[in-house]
Structures are given as C-alpha cells and as structure tokens.
Amino acid sequence: MRPHYPNFSFPLWVGKTWQGKYRTTRGDGKVFDSDRSVTVEGWEEVTVPAGRFKALKVSSLTYYRRVDGGGGGRIVFNYWYAPEVGRPVRIED
C-alpha cells in the first residue's frame, strides 16, 4: 500500500473513525486505488481458541477500483482488538 494505511489508529476508543486513500499493486501488475473508512464500534466479549477476551470491535469498509477501468468492488473486515494482548484476537471478512 502506498501510502501505508494501518488497520488501527491508536489510541482506540468507541466511536473513533478514520479514513484514508491508498494505492496497491498486485503481483500480476494490476493497480488499484482504494478508499477506506474505519470505525471503532464498541466493546464485546470474544471467545476464541486462545481464550475469552474483552475486545474493541473495529469495522473497516474499503471501496476499490482498478486504475485501468477494469472494475472494482468493496471489502468489509471486522477486527476484535484485545488491549490485554495488544493485537486482534478475531478477524472476519
């Protein structure tokens, strides 16, 4: 990604939002421009194989399009970030 666009913008708090634009080039040479919006939704209890965590749900919505006009789409990701371990403990797309 150019410029680098992080999944998280610390410090995190419920209701925080951030947006960004970036460009990616795939291994096959296709280039995409993307617009991304991220929102910290709220606290949730998450149970995963590693255990149970109190985590912030962070939702990400990205719209992308090929710069040569070859199409585009959208990507939705949800992350559950657990401060006690300093990383996401669950990711869904």
User: Residues 46-77: pLDDT tens digits?
Assistant: 999 999 999 999 999 999 999 998 899 999 99
- pLDDT beyond 90 at 4: no
Quote the pTM value. Answer: 0.89
What proportion of the chain, given as a percentage, has pLDDT over 70? Answer: 99
Strands (DSSP E) contained in the chain are 17-25, 31-48, 51-66, 72-82, 87-92
